[in-house]
Amino acid sequence: MMEKRGNEIWLYEDQTPNMKLGLRIRDVLYNRKSDYQEVVVADTFQYGRALLLDGAFQITEGDEFCYHEMMAHVPLCAHPNPRHVLIVGGGDGGVLREVLKHECVERAWLVDIDKDVIEVSRRFFPGVSCELDNPRAEVVAQDALKFIKGKRAQFDVAIIDSTDPVDFAEGLFRREFYRDVFEALRDDGLCVAQSESPFCMADVLSQAYGEMKAVFPVVKVYWGVMPTYPSGTWTYTVGSKLYDPSIPRRLVSFKTRYYTFDVHRACFALPPFISGLLEEGKAI
């Protein structure tokens, strides 16, 4: 939602029925309806260019690294030799960019249902989408629920970079999808899914944790900061067939802005209110 205040234009996301995030913008650079959702690119004063899908902030140039580094490097460093990686969603290319920084990754598949998001990111976010044409990447515009069906022992790591669990993305938070991912992973594979804010969407976190725990023998939650996401605190849920994902097994050999070895170990230390809602299956 956009609002004009005198000579200023503000862009708002209704993050909950009782909370909004507002950013003052210079201009709207793109605003069209794709086959699946409304796609908006705006130039903000605080965080640079921002991508919104159906009114929800997905990335901004100013803070995207916080999310993309934690989505990619925690699972990849928890695995001793991730060669084949699946990315579900993430059409902006940010997770793919981080995944391909790992030289051991031979092939990465990015599967996003909305080809318009991929093309908009190419056009307006070159620093994020810079690896979409990497020869080690295969970019597929397809429903991931269909793509994953029938895959057997093909991937070492799966990264579920989905939007909020509504409409076409709702199935990405269900047990049936996690079972398909489980089958598509090798015997020592693991997956990570973004699981929303423990303050604003605690029920989603609790559900994702419970659904993944019904499928994977090892399930843990880690957390980090993400300023433009609801509450600024974000969680990630990992399901693993073998390894404890809280233990980094490899060091990164490249420069990072958020992720480090120490951050990896620390991010699995949960505040009592988060561990409590996971144990009780209740939202705060």
Give the torsion sign (CA, 102, 100, 37, 51): positive
Where do runs of H (alpha helix) occur along 40-161? 64-78, 94-99, 115-124, 144-147
Paired sense of beta strands 185-194 and 233-240, if any: antiparallel
Q: Which of 63, 65, 61 is nearest to 97 (CA)?
A: 65
How far, in Å, CA of 11 to CA of 24, rounded?
Answer: 6
Helix (H) or strand (E) holding 202: helix 202-213
Annotated catalytic residue 161: yes
Determine phi and psi for 170, rounding to 5 degrees.
Answer: -60, -40
- Cα angle value 278/74/56 (rounded, 5°): 70
Q: Which of 112, 161, 164, 180 is the catalytic position?
A: 161
How far, in Å, CA of 75 to CA of 264, rounded?
Answer: 10
Give the torsion sign (CA, 222, 157, 248, 260): negative
Q: Which residues are catalytic?
A: 161
